[in-house]
């Protein structure tokens, strides 16, 4: 079934899945199940050249998440400017999210949520 779906034009894949009572391909379901079983979450960082997802255990605090990017980020952590991905998408980007008051300034003990988009402020 997965092979049949992959042989289709990308525009037709969603219709194929829905016709079989599925919302997403098996690989996506496997990845999501693995994350749930292992207790992992993802947060995102975004800059002018790159958007990146980072995987951390659930319950990770902001300073530890910053340390996943670089140890200097954790050592010199000041704050995390954070917005959930749903608010980010609804606003159309970080600038508009800030203008709408959706971006929060969180301290080092903030528990990172799955799908957070974070700008880490630090000084080393």
Per-residue pLDDT tens over the stretch 48-87: 888 999 999 999 999 999 999 999 999 999 999 999 999 9
Q: Is the separation of the CB atoms in 112 and 58 below 8 Å?
A: no
118: three-class secondary structure by DSSP: strand
Q: Is the separation of the CB atoms in 15 and 9 below 8 Å?
A: no
Delimiting residues of CATH 3.10.20.30 domain(s) in the chain:
39-124
State residue 47's pLDDT score. 82
44, two tokens = 């995102």
Q: What is the pTM of this model?
A: 0.82
Main-chain dihedrals φ then ψ at residue 49, nearest 5 degrees: -110, -15
Class in CATH terms, 39-124: alpha beta
CA dihedral 1, 8, 52, 85 (to 10 degrees): -80
Question: Pairing relation of β-strands 104-106 and 77-83?
Answer: antiparallel
């Amino acid at each position: 079934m997965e092979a049949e779906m992959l042989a289709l034009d990308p525009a037709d894949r969603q219709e194929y899945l829905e016709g079989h009572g599925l919302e997403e391909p098996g690989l996506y379901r496997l990845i999501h199940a693995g994350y749930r079983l292992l207790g992992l979450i993802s947060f995102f960082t975004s800059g002018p050249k790159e958007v990146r997802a980072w995987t951390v255990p659930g319950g990770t605090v902001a300073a530890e998440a910053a340390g996943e990017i670089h140890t200097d980020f954790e050592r010199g952590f000041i704050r995390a400017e954070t917005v959930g991905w749903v608010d980010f998408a609804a606003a159309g980007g970080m600038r508009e999210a800030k203008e709408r008051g959706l971006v929060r300034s969180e301290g080092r003990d903030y528990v990172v949520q799955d799908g957070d988009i974070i700008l880490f402020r630090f000084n080393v």
